[in-house]
Amino acid sequence: MAASGGGAVRCSHVALLDPNNVLPYVQWQTRDRALTLARKFQAATGLNLRTRPKGGRRTCAQQNAIYAQGRTEPGDVVTHASGCLSWHVLGRALDLDPVDASGRLQPGSAYAWAGSIWKALGGKWGGDFPGFPDIGHFEYHPGLTIEQACPNPTYCSAIEASIQTTMPFGYGVWLGMVTTALVGGAAYGSWKLWQRWRS
């Protein structure tokens, strides 16, 4: 929150900027964690995080096109992953840049800060990748290896179709039941206390 010279107060509640609308298409827990990351990062540094134009989920075809770059196509090698061997294809990776209020990119130390918060939230940060560090890359797949998620990169389309971008129905119902039980339990407890107080 910052007061500008004109007397108006600018208050940004949106910590994670998504100008290219990539967030709705990533796996739901990954998006949820990224929103938490951005809130914590903003609270600590006053900076925002911003998604890159192609920094969300990629189709198998898009990933294979990037993989071809520097191999069968001109350009520099930018990825070591083909097919579903990229967490981007699995909807569990985001490429993010720390930016100030004017949208200016921040130095590497800001990425490292975001990376340390991300790791505390259970994610893996691309800045730690040996030999091929990628400081703007954040992936979330606790307990899951890429070999488990993508046993065969040529099955990419089938795996791509199974990505859940919203909380699954069963999970939501279960959460609802727990919430109802907790709220109900608290209400019952209050009622019992009130009865005891009355008598």
Binding stretches for Zn ion (CB under 5 A): 93, 95, 137
Dihedrals phi, psi of 196, to nearest 5 degrees: -65, -40
Residue 79 is which amino acid?
A: T
| Angle, vertex CA 124, rays to CA 119 and CA 125, nearest 5 | 85
CA proximity to 91, closest of 18, 28, 169: 28
CA dist 105 → 85, 101, 116, 129, 192 (Å): 29, 10, 18, 22, 57
Work out how close the CB of 178 gets to Zn ion at its nearest, in angstroms, rounded to a whole number: 34
Which residue, 95 or 97, is less far from Zn ion as judged by CB? 95
Which residue, 93 or 150, is less far from Zn ion as judged by CB? 93
Answer yes or no: are the C-beta atoms of 20 and 96 closer than 8 Å. Answer: no
Q: Which residues does 2 contact at the CB level (< 8 Å), separation at least 6?
A: 9, 10, 101
Residue nearest to Zn ion (CB): 137
Which residue, 32 or 134, is less far from Zn ion as judged by CB? 134
Which residue, 18 or 95, is less far from Zn ion as judged by CB? 95
Which residue, 10 or 80, is less far from Zn ion as judged by CB? 80
Work out how close the CB of 174 gets to Zn ion at its nearest, in angstroms, rounded to a whole number: 32
Work out how close the CB of 88 gets to Zn ion at its nearest, in angstroms, rounded to a whole number: 6
Work out how close the CB of 9 gets to Zn ion at its nearest, in angstroms, rounded to a whole number: 36
Which residue, 41 or 92, is less far from Zn ion as judged by CB? 92
Work out how close the CB of 44 gets to Zn ion at its nearest, in angstroms, rounded to a whole number: 23
Work out how close the CB of 165 gets to Zn ion at its nearest, in angstroms, rounded to a whole number: 18
Q: Where are the beta strands (DSSP E) in 36-115?
A: 48-51, 93-99
CA proximity to 110, closest of 52, 46, 54, 51: 46
